[in-house]
Amino acid sequence: MSTHEEKLSILAEMISFARVDNTLKKVEYNFLLGVADQLGIDKATFDSLFHKEVERILPKSQADRILQFHRLVLLMNVDKDQRMAELNKLHSIGMRMGLSPAAIDQVLSVMHQYPDNVVPPEVLLDIFRASYN
């Protein structure tokens, strides 16, 4: 399980990603708050992340990196308003996390085949498994 600092880093990265278009919609905030709740981070701590810098910690395992990438894909699509800046930022984050460029591209391509662009977790995992074999 991630440490408290790692959880804050996950949320800080997601907040930064949500703000790539210089706005934060209520649906995005609510999604982020839900992730914070799943991670065991209280609302006050979560809200403080909008106003302070947090050390960025790269998820240690490949599985955790893929999970974070999936969260970001879901966040990007939660408002049903996908922009090129978001796609570029997501691609950049995936690369920084050491994910396969081919897998990143494939996920971003196939997401349009699913309702609300939500790639099922098993499909996403299959894409990354295939790219690492």
pLDDT tens across 2-17, in order? Answer: 799 999 999 999 999 9
Q: Backbone dihedral region of 22: left (phi > 0), alpha (psi from -120 to 50 degrees) or beta?
A: left
Compute the mean pLDDT over every residue in the chain, rounded to the nearest whole number: 92
- Domain range for 86: 4-132
Residue 82: count of CB within 10 angstroms of its CB:
15
Mean pLDDT confidence for 75-84: 85
Report how many domains make up the chain.
Answer: 1
- pTM of the full structure: 0.90
Q: Where are the alpha helices (DSSP H) in 19-83?
A: 26-39, 43-48, 62-78
* Under 8 Å between Cβ of 27 and 33: no
pLDDT computed for residue 21 by the predictor: 85
pLDDT computed for residue 51 by the predictor: 93
